[in-house]
Amino acid sequence: MSYCWFRLLEQLKRYGAAGVLSYGLLNTVYYVTTFLLVWFHFSPAPGRMGYAAAVERFLKLMAMVWAGSQVTKILRAGGALALAPLVDRGLRWFTVKFNFQSEGKAFATIVGLCFALAALMFVGLTVLWA
């Protein structure tokens, strides 16, 4: 299994920033979607549980989501490899459309948006349920 994982990573590296971005986008989709499913469907919680309990719940659920991510890692890497050409075109389009000086700056902006979306959702839910 680890050989397959490293082989997929080597193939993703050939796409450069687009390969990394493709894997990162799939990770963002995985973590946000899985967290929302677990939070609302598999392990629903009552509202107004207090900040300490909400943070404890967040940490427990995030540990479960992370454990699940280890099981799906090869699938996400394969999906990222399949999507890398599309992400490469999308990154070039995003760079031109928003007048970035380089693809590296556009890449950093997209990565920042992914982190901001995930953080806003994670913190927002935790605070709303506190």
pLDDT score of 1:
58
| 3-state DSSP assignment of residue 22 | helix
Tokens of 78: 């394969």
CA dihedral 56, 61, 63, 66 (to 10 degrees): -150
Q: Are 91 and 64 in contact (CB under 8 A)?
A: no
- Sequence length of the chain is 130
What is the 3-state secondary structure of 31-95? Answer: HHHHHHHHHHHHCCCCCCCCHHHHHHHHHHHHHHHHHHHHHCHHHHHHHHHHHHHHHHHHHHHHH
Tokens of 107: 């890449």
13 pLDDT above the threshold of 90:
no
What is the count of structural domains for the chain?
1
Rounded to two decimals, the pTM is 0.87
For residue range 17-59, what is the model confidence (pLDDT) as tens digits? 999 999 999 999 999 999 999 988 887 777 777 888 888 888 9
Q: How many whole angstroms from its chain centre is CA 50?
A: 27
For residue range 71-118, what is the model confidence (pLDDT) as tens digits? 999 899 999 999 999 999 999 999 999 999 999 999 999 999 999 999
Domain span at residue 59?
2-129
Contacts of 63 (CB under 8 A, 6+ apart): none
Distance CA 128, CA 47 (A): 8
